Structure 1
Amino acid sequence: MFTSLYTRIGALALVVVLALASLAWLLSDAAHRTGSSFRWVIHSATIIETTDEALGDLREAESGQRGFVLTHDLAYARTFDERIKSAATNMARVVALTADNPVQHARTREIARLMAERTIALRRPLDLGRAGDFAGARTFVASGRGRELMDAITVRTQSFLDEERALQTVRVEAAERRLTRSKRLSLAGASIVAILLLLACTLLIRSIRRPLAAMMQAMTELGRGQKARIADGMGSREFTLLARGYNAMADRLEQAVVEQATSEQQLQIANTDLHSQGEALRERNEVIELLGGMAHRMQAARTDDELAQIIRVFVPRVLPGLGGALYAHNNSRNLLVPIAHWGGLTLNLDGFPPDECWALRRGRSHCVVEPGADIVCGHVCADALYHCEPLLAGGEVMGVLYLRGRVPAESRFRLTVLTENIASALVNHQLQRSLREQTIRDPLTGLFNRRYMEEALALEIPRSSRSGQPLSLVMCDVDHFKRFNDEFGHDAGDAVLQAVSAEMRNRFRDGDVVCRYGGEEFTIIAPGTDATALLSRVEQVRLAIAELNIRAGGQRLGATSMSFGIATWSNTMDCDGTSPIKAADAALYEAKRSGRNCAKVSLVEPQQAAA
């Protein structure tokens, strides 16, 4: 029945498991009872702590109320409502926690009722004080009603806490008794299980020692190179099968030793190839990681200088030892201008026409690796060794990458990925610039729109405040603009707006921000200029617009004039820009009332403008 080692182990394990299960059940029951006792102890501690917190919050609320009534300082009453709410919440929690104890539950409900009355009594002087009647508040406090309530609350709370502490003591003693019984039970059960385990281990060791020693001896002899085998009759079915398996393994091992010599040479060759491929893969992964970092930074670049800085930092790391430059088309696409250069290269900053580069002509790489080996581009010295790589994205030529020197064959992969990343970055950069212009420009006049005006004003006002330099604002509009739309149509109105916009853009300084505010209204932000100095420039613009001869649809539209209102920002005004806009708008309204076609300076005081 017990010829199998599994059967012997199973029988012994069953005995041990039954003993452990019995011990576990007994310990679990004891732990459950002990845990229940300790939970009641914690329950009492929670009730005591919460009651103390509720009483403390009520006293702090009373102290804040008295401090406010005596000192008239509202700071004492700021936490009153919070303390009252906390006291009520904690007391409500105590009432809920004592639901299992009818006597204590009745006491907590009485305390809660008294605390509610005390809260009403505390609020009355506080409301009188907030209304300014501090004499009435002191009279109410001096009446003594609040003190009587507080004393009653204190007495009942103390009685309640004494009873709860006594109950907690009884529960602690019961929990300790149960814990002691659990310890004794665990020690006795552990001793019994230990004896059973010791007996089981002794029987198993006797069944395993002899066959294991025979197997160890055979394995030792096999390790020394001897031909060792294990005989049958190992005392159990499992060890007998293991011995047969060992003998078969020893036979196959002898055969494998013979085949090992043949395979070692093949393995060495494969290992050499794998190492070479691993080095190439590691180098390529490093390049891809470096190019990935470069691509992320180029996609995040917002200005040409940022893009040039990224190119100067990363390209020498991708292609070490090669100086070069990056050229891109200008806005007219008639020249390739340098964006960035590195490696001590000296460039013609004026750029060169696209026809001078053979890489751009052919739409593919063009290089000269030996003097006289190929045609030299017009933008390169005659005896130079170089490589030109066109930058293509979406079928469009974005520029050219010029590298001075020979590009090694192993760097071709780097060059290909590098040019793809740079071309994509140039496309993204152009799209971002175009989208930026679309969001800040008025499509009809080409001036900045109102959104950009508000952003610029929000930047210029803090700058003027820090530097002390003046900042002026002009609000203007076209006089009788409705007449152009009514008599000649909306196309004529658009022509008038375009003409006056062009005149203002040409007449104001480069540092001034000329915006279309909306409709026929325009705004000019003039940093570093006060209203008096700006008035003469505005007069020149006004006279120039009055002399315009605007035509639309083959007919003359008649005289055109504009009215202007000028205001200067002051530190007493709001920093959000609304005050100078309102002041300039008021001056514009004054110009309209004065007959139009004139400029007025705001006479509104800064405080009035801020209001």
Structure 2
Amino acid sequence: MLSSLSARIAAIGLVVLIALASLAGLLVDASRQTSQSFEWAGHSAEVIETTEAALGDLREAESGQRGFIITRNPAYARSFAERVESSARNIAVAVRQTADNPLQHARAREIATLMAQRAVFLRQPLVLARRGDFAGAVAIVASGRGRELMDAISVRATGFLDEERALQTSRQDAADRRLAGGRRLAIIGAVVVALLVVGSFALLIRGIRRPLATMMRAMTALGGGEQDARIEGRMGSEEFDRLARGYNAMAERLRTAVADRADSERQLQTANAELHRNSETLRERGSVIELLGGMSHRMQAARTDDELAQIIKVFVPRVLPNLPGALYAHNNSRNCLVPIASWGGTAVAAEGFAPERCWALRRGQSHSVAEAGRDIVCGHVGADELYHCEPLLAGGEVIGVLYLRGRIEDENRFRMAVLTENIASALVNHRLQRSLREQTIRDPLTGLFNRRYMEETLKLEIARAARAGTPLSLVMCDIDHFKRFNDEFGHDAGDAVLQHVAAEMRGRFRDGDVVCRFGGEEFTIIAPGTTADALAGRVEIVRRAIAELSVRHGSRSLGSTSMSFGIATWSEPMARDGSTLIQAADVALYQSKREGRNRATISLVAA
């Protein structure tokens, strides 16, 4: 009836599930009944415990009352009220607990009534005794009425407790019987379910083993080389029938595949060779990228043009071996390509060449001559030279050109493309860093170094002079009557005077001297390796040149100007931060002012 193997397994599972569900339902019901029996037994135990607690509290109250009356010691009666209240509370609980049993409930209510009467009777002699009437209290106790009530309570309580204990015993026996029945049910049910499972799976395995053996024989024969081995006939289930049909189809395809094996092997060899070449290419490109990564990190960290050139000289020959060349970049005016670095013995002209002399820059794309006479030769290259020019692009802008001497093979084009991209990015970053640094250390109006740079440089030069024992001098100077220019001609005219004076000073002092704008119309010159006396002659030349300046602003002549100078030389007693040296030069400057301006004064501070 069940032709599908999965349907048979589902049927077996359903039967087992039903059996397990039935067993579980029976066990749950038995467990519930057992639990209820134990609960009722526990309930009887609680009733007994509560009732005995109530009787015990009442007896203790009576004992305390008699002890007080007999001994007249108030300590015996201290807990009387508490015991009476506890007795009433416990018997009330017992009344509520027996609400499910009308007979026991009536008995409990009767006992509660007698106990309440007994409590009232116990209070009467206690009240008299507390008032000091111990004789009256003894008379009430001796009357015997209290004893009669207590006997009645004891008789009814004994019957009530005996009945509750009998109920507890019967309920406990019922719980034990149900628990034993549950165990038997669990054992019998487990055995039945186990036999059902074992029998079902035995039938299932029997239905699997025969077709599986048939398939194994066919597959073994096919594996042994019998390409005609097939599975014939029905297999006993839909799944194995599909497997048999699939096996037969696979065997047919295998026969076709064997016939085409030689061709497949040749194709596989070709694909393997191509894969090997691709793997080698990827490995080579990976090493190039790793090498370029190291080069890029170093170029990003370069602070000077010399450092950048050194990095390019070291890494480019490793990325493009056996290809001499040079790297050119635009100057600030963008009217000339100046050499940044060269390698492989390439000789380059220091003055560079004009952008229009390179066809790569003119076309905005690669330009190469791989064979003499086959293309136009750039103006910066020899006539019969084989070469390649690659423009450096960053943000859509040409910033330079990479010149390589020789023929560029196909395997080097990837290297060259990644190399030019990295170099272009590094050049842009280097120029940006240099521009930002210039902005932080330069005065925007005059182009001279600013005061912050002057203070940092002065500390470094003092430390260098102290280590080497060489002289170091400082010039403080300012423009005489500078306020006149601002008042008469306006602040723009004053800025023009500052710019002309700064240009004159920048052109008159040595390259090693640091010319700074100290602030306002005041300037500072740091002169390493020279004394004040030696520096005075140079200052005098500058003073005369500035005195001969005739500054014009627009169409107006601003007239002549002059400067006053103060010169000082650093010595060991002075502070290492330069403050003392600046103060000495400043004092000399003010002396020049007092003596008529337009002059230079050397500080008299002992060196």
Residues 386, 556 of structure 1: CA spacing in aligned structure 2 closer, same or farther, 3 A cutoff?
closer
For 1:526 and 1:11, the matched residues in 2 are separated by 106
User: What does residue 433 of structure 2 align with?
Assistant: 432
Paired residue type of 1:445? T
For 2:551 and 2:562, the matched residues in 1 are separated by 12
Cα deviations across residues 519-541 of structure 1 (Å, max 9, x unaligned)?
Answer: 10111112223334334433333
User: What does residue 100 of structure 1 align with?
Assistant: none
User: What does residue 220 of structure 2 align with?
Assistant: 223
Kindly tell me the number of residue pairs found equivalent between the two proteins: 424
User: What does residue 589 of structure 2 align with?
Assistant: 588
User: What does residue 304 of structure 2 align with?
Assistant: 303
User: What does residue 449 of structure 1 align with?
Assistant: 450
| 5+ long unaligned stretches in structure 2 | 1-7, 28-189, 223-228
Using the TM superposition, name which of 299-308 and 269-278 deviates more: 269-278
Aligned counterparts, 1:550-565, within 5 A: 550-565=551-566
Aligned counterparts, 1:61-460, within 5 A: 217=213, 220-221=216-217, 222-225=219-222, 227=230, 243=240, 246-261=243-258, 265=263, 269=267, 272-273=270-271, 276=274, 279-280=277-278, 283=281, 285-286=285-286, 287-288=288-289, 290-394=291-395, 396-460=397-461
Cα deviations across residues 27-67 of structure 1 (Å, max 9, x unaligned)?
Answer: xxxxxxxxxxxxxxxxxxxxxxxxxxxxxxxxxxxxxxxxx
Residues 350, 555 of structure 1: CA spacing in aligned structure 2 closer, same or farther, 3 A cutoff?
closer
User: What does residue 124 of structure 2 align with?
Assistant: none
Deviation at 1:3, TM superposition (A): 9.0
For 1:245 and 1:266, the matched residues in 2 are separated by 29
User: What does residue 517 of structure 2 align with?
Assistant: 516
Deviation at 1:406, TM superposition (A): 1.6
Q: Matched residue of 1:550: which SS?
A: strand
Deviation at 1:267, TM superposition (A): 8.1
For 1:403 and 1:9, the matched residues in 2 are separated by 84
Please give the TM-score of this superposition, normalised by the length of structure 2.
0.58
User: What does residue 479 of structure 1 align with?
Assistant: 480
* Kept in 2: contact 1:215–1:230 (CA 8 A): no
For 2:597 and 2:434, the matched residues in 1 are separated by 39
For 1:218 and 1:468, the matched residues in 2 are separated by 104
Paired residue type of 1:439? T
Q: Matched residue of 1:503: which SS?
A: helix
User: What does residue 542 of structure 1 align with?
Assistant: 543
* Kept in 1: contact 2:9–2:204 (CA 8 A): no
* Kept in 2: contact 1:230–1:243 (CA 8 A): no
Residues 275, 530 of structure 1: CA spacing in aligned structure 2 closer, same or farther, 3 A cutoff?
same
For 1:414 and 1:385, the matched residues in 2 are separated by 19
* Kept in 2: contact 1:588–1:599 (CA 8 A): yes
Please give the TM-score of this superposition, normalised by the length of structure 1.
0.57
Paired residue type of 2:247? A
Q: Matched residue of 1:557: which SS?
A: strand
Residues 338, 248 of structure 1: CA spacing in aligned structure 2 closer, same or farther, 3 A cutoff?
same
Paired residue type of 2:281? E
Aligned counterparts, 1:34-53, within 5 A: none
Paired residue type of 2:441? I
* Kept in 1: contact 2:543–2:598 (CA 8 A): yes
Deviation at 1:516, TM superposition (A): 0.6
For 2:212 and 2:606, the matched residues in 1 are separated by 106
Deviation at 1:457, TM superposition (A): 2.4
User: Which structure has the bigger radius of gyration?
Assistant: 2
RMSD (Å), alpha carbons: 4.4
Residues 219, 316 of structure 1: CA spacing in aligned structure 2 closer, same or farther, 3 A cutoff?
farther
For 1:362 and 1:250, the matched residues in 2 are separated by 66
Residues 538, 274 of structure 1: CA spacing in aligned structure 2 closer, same or farther, 3 A cutoff?
same
| 5+ long unaligned stretches in structure 1 | 19-195, 234-239, 607-611
Identical-residue share of aligned pairs (%): 61
Deviation at 1:515, TM superposition (A): 0.5
Cα deviations across residues 421-454 of structure 1 (Å, max 9, x unaligned)?
Answer: 4344434433433333333222222211223223
Residues 346, 479 of structure 1: CA spacing in aligned structure 2 closer, same or farther, 3 A cutoff?
closer
For 1:312 and 1:207, the matched residues in 2 are separated by 83
Deviation at 1:572, TM superposition (A): 4.7
User: What does residue 489 of structure 1 align with?
Assistant: 490
For 1:5 and 1:575, the matched residues in 2 are separated by 99
User: What does residue 110 of structure 1 align with?
Assistant: none
Deviation at 1:512, TM superposition (A): 0.9
User: What does residue 28 of structure 1 align with?
Assistant: none
Cα deviations across residues 375-394 of structure 1 (Å, max 9, x unaligned)?
Answer: 43343333322223333445
